[in-house]
């Protein structure tokens, strides 16, 4: 049987979880019992083949018992996943037994008991008559299975006694019958009570864990829904403009990220590109981003004045949560008619401006992020552009990415990569994302990553 933990069992039904635990415990106990049977069978073989009292029947019974113990041990090992080498031999039988583990163990114990009793029919059989009922204590069978097994034990004792029934020993045999019956009754009652207590305790634990699993599943579904909702807020495709080539990507570090970008067409010759980052990531960041997107939608007609928009969004961030939420945000307003880019930023990482000849400049606007609850001193900067020039907006998840050696990617590396990357916007975007992933290697992504490349035609 496969290893399990309570959290995994909580995903099953109550009946299936109880059966899985009971089967695993029964198998573990049965494997120990079979090891003891093997020692007893070794003694039988020595007696049958080395003792002058051994008969042909003894030899046949001892060999039969040996084959049965080997088969039972092999099946139990394969079911317990502890003997992969034996799976080639016992795999088919194990597959069949695996669907009915508990009845198979009950039957195997009964057959083993019968074989031992037959071998010891001339002497020593009362020992097995008392031993087998005792070793069944601790197994987790159903009540009918316990009754049938102990009834079988007692029936075999009676048949065995009748076969050796002699007048001088009748009282002794009757005493054995009575004692065996008493042992079977005591062990049967104790097993039923123990199994009932085991079932009660397990079901109590399982129900608590099941409730927690249901809550975790609900939260996971809500996070997935929140992730899908947030991703749906991002533009599915850039606007098709004859004078501009745009490519972007946002890679959240968790189910719900804290990065955001969008495009807003303003008239025929202007386009506003926004890129934001809420401090941290998770559901709280996603809620703030949803509010930001709603704010941009309402203020899109005012994007010709980026500073005004940032001030209004600062009020929105402060009102969205009682906790202080910091948001860095950059607005890039491209005017193709005037061939001028207007840049405004609230604590956002420097925008990278790459000219067609490869000369690269980091445009940094020194201002606090949104949500600091201080008077905002926001300014804009105008940058003339020409065909072939490119603007790269990004979040700090790029240059703050670290590898397994705790080395940071760095802003300088990002600037040099932008300077030496030729091609369209998509190629520049992919080069940045690919280089960051290669640098990070096996280290996990610690922060959201967003890149927006806008290249003039």
Under 8 Å between Cβ of 272 and 454: no
**For 5-43, b where at least 16 C-beta lie within 10 A, e where not — what string?**
ebeebbebeeeebbebbbbbebbebbbebbeebeebbee
| pLDDT value at residue 335 | 95
Cα 288 off chain centre by:
29
| pLDDT value at residue 219 | 72
- Average pLDDT, integer, range 420-445: 93
Query: Per residue in 97-112, pLDDT tens?
Result: 888 899 999 999 999 9
- Average pLDDT, integer, range 124-134: 89
Q: Residue 76 and residue 70: Cα distance in Å, rounded?
A: 10
| pLDDT value at residue 303 | 92
Percentage of the residues of the chain whose pLDDT score is greater than 70: 89
Instruction: Specify the range with the lowest mean pLDDT, choosing from 74-83, 127-136, 217-226.
Output: 217-226
Question: What confidence category does residue 234 fall into, taking pLDDT thresholds of 50, 70 and 90?
Answer: confident
Question: Which has more pLDDT, 124 or 148?
Answer: 148
Helix 101-119 with 56-79: angle, nearest 10 deg: 160
| pLDDT value at residue 232 | 66
Question: What confidence category does residue 1 fall into, taking pLDDT thresholds of 50, 70 and 90?
Answer: very low
| pLDDT value at residue 8 | 67
Q: Residue 309 and residue 448: Cα distance in Å, rounded?
A: 24
**For 337-360, b where at least 16 C-beta lie within 10 A, e where not — what string?**
eeeebbbbbbbbbbbbbbeeeeeb
| pLDDT value at residue 83 | 55
If one looks up domain 239-456 in CATH, what number appears? 3.60.40.10
Question: Which has more pLDDT, 166 or 20?
Answer: 20
> Is 70 exceeded by the pLDDT of residue 36?
yes
Query: Per residue in 17-28, pLDDT tens?
Result: 888 888 889 999
Question: Which has more pLDDT, 373 or 30?
Answer: 30
- Average pLDDT, integer, range 76-101: 78
| pLDDT value at residue 182 | 92
Query: Per residue in 321-337, pLDDT tens?
Result: 666 778 899 999 999 99
**Residue 194, Cβ density class (10 Å: 0-12 exposed, 13-18 middle, ≥19 buried):** middle
- Average pLDDT, integer, range 438-449: 89
Of 439, 435, 360, 347, which Cα lies nearest the Cα of 392?
360
Instruction: Decide: helix, strand or coil at residue 78.
Output: helix
| pLDDT value at residue 2 | 39
> Is 90 exceeded by the pLDDT of residue 121?
no
Q: How far is CA 281 from each of CA 62, 273, 285, 289, 325, rounded to the nearest angstrom?
A: 69, 22, 5, 10, 11
> Is 90 exceeded by the pLDDT of residue 354?
yes
> Is 60 exceeded by the pLDDT of residue 3?
no
Mean residue pLDDT of the chain comes to 86
Query: Per residue in 247-300, pLDDT tens?
Result: 999 888 776 667 889 999 998 889 999 998 887 656 666 677 778 888 888 999
- Average pLDDT, integer, range 124-131: 88
DSSP characters over 371-430: TS-S-----EEEEE--TT-EEEEE-TTTTT-B-TT--B--HHHHHHHHHH--S-HHHHHH
Of 83, 133, 85, 127, which Cα lies nearest the Cα of 109?
133
> Which are the contacts of 79, defined by CB distance < 8 A and separation ≥ 6?
1, 27, 94, 97, 98, 101
| pLDDT value at residue 379 | 82
| pLDDT value at residue 78 | 85
Question: Which has more pLDDT, 215 or 192?
Answer: 192
Alpha-carbon Rg for the chain in angstroms: 39
pTM above 0.75, yes or no: no
Question: What confidence category does residue 410 fall into, taking pLDDT thresholds of 50, 70 and 90?
Answer: very high
> Is 70 exceeded by the pLDDT of residue 312?
yes
| pLDDT value at residue 87 | 72
**Residue 58, Cβ density class (10 Å: 0-12 exposed, 13-18 middle, ≥19 buried):** buried
> Is 90 exceeded by the pLDDT of residue 226?
no
Q: Where are the domains of the chain?
A: 6-215, 239-456
Helix ranges (H only) for 55-119 are 56-79, 87-97, 101-119
């Amino acid at each position: 049987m496969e290893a399990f933990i309570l959290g995994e069992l909580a995903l099953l039904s109550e009946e299936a979880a109880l059966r899985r635990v009971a089967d695993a415990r029964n198998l573990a106990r049965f494997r120990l019992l079979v090891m003891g049977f093997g020692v007893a069978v070794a003694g039988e073989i020595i007696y049958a083949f080395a003792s002058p009292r051994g008969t042909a029947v003894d030899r046949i019974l001892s060999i039969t018992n040996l084959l049965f113990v080997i088969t039972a041990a092999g099946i139990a090992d394969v079911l317990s996943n502890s003997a992969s080498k034996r799976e080639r031999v016992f795999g088919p039988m194990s597959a069949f037994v695996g669907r009915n583990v508990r009845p198979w163990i009950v039957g195997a114990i009964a057959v083993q008991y019968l074989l031992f009793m037959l071998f010891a029919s001339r002497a020593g059989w009362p020992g097995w008559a008392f031993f087998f009922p005792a070793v069944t204590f601790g197994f987790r069978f159903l009540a009918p299975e316990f009754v049938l097994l102990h009834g079988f034990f007692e029936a075999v004792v009676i048949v065995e006694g009748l076969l050796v029934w002699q007048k001088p020993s009748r009282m002794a045999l009757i005493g054995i019958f009575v004692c065996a019956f008493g042992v079977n009754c005591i062990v049967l009652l104790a097993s039923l009570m123990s199994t009932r207590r085991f079932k009660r305790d397990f079901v109590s634990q399982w129900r608590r864990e099941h409730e927690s699993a249901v809550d975790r599943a609900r939260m996971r579904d809500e996070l997935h829904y929140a992730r899908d909702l947030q991703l749906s807020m991002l533009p599915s495709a850039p606007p098709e403009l004859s004078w501009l080539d745009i490519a972007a990507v946002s890679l959240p570090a968790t189910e719900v990220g804290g990065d955001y970008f969008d495009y807003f067409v303003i008239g025929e010759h202007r386009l506003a590109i926004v890129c934001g980052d809420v401090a941290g990531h998770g559901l709280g960041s996603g809620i703030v981003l949803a509010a930001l997107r709603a704010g941009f939608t309402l203020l899109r007609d005012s994007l010709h004045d980026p500073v005004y928009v940032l001030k209004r969004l600062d009020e929105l961030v402060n009102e969205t949560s009682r906790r202080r939420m910091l948001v860095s945000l950059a607005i890039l307003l491209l005017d193709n008619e005037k061939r001028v880019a207007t840049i405004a930023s609230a604590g956002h990482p420097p925008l990278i401006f790459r000219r067609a000849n490869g000369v690269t400049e980091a445009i940094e606007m020194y201002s606090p992020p949104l949500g600091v609850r201080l008077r905002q001193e926001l300014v804009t900067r105008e940058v003339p552009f020409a065909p072939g020039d490119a603007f790269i907006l990004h979040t700090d998840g790029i240059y703050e990415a670290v590898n397994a050696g705790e080395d940071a990617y760095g802003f300088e590396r990002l600037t040099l990569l932008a300077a030496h990357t030729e091609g369209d916007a998509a190629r520049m975007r992919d080069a940045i994302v690919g280089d960051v992933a290669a640098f990070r290697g096996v280290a996990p992504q610690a922060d959201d990553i967003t890149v927006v490349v806008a290249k003039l035609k």
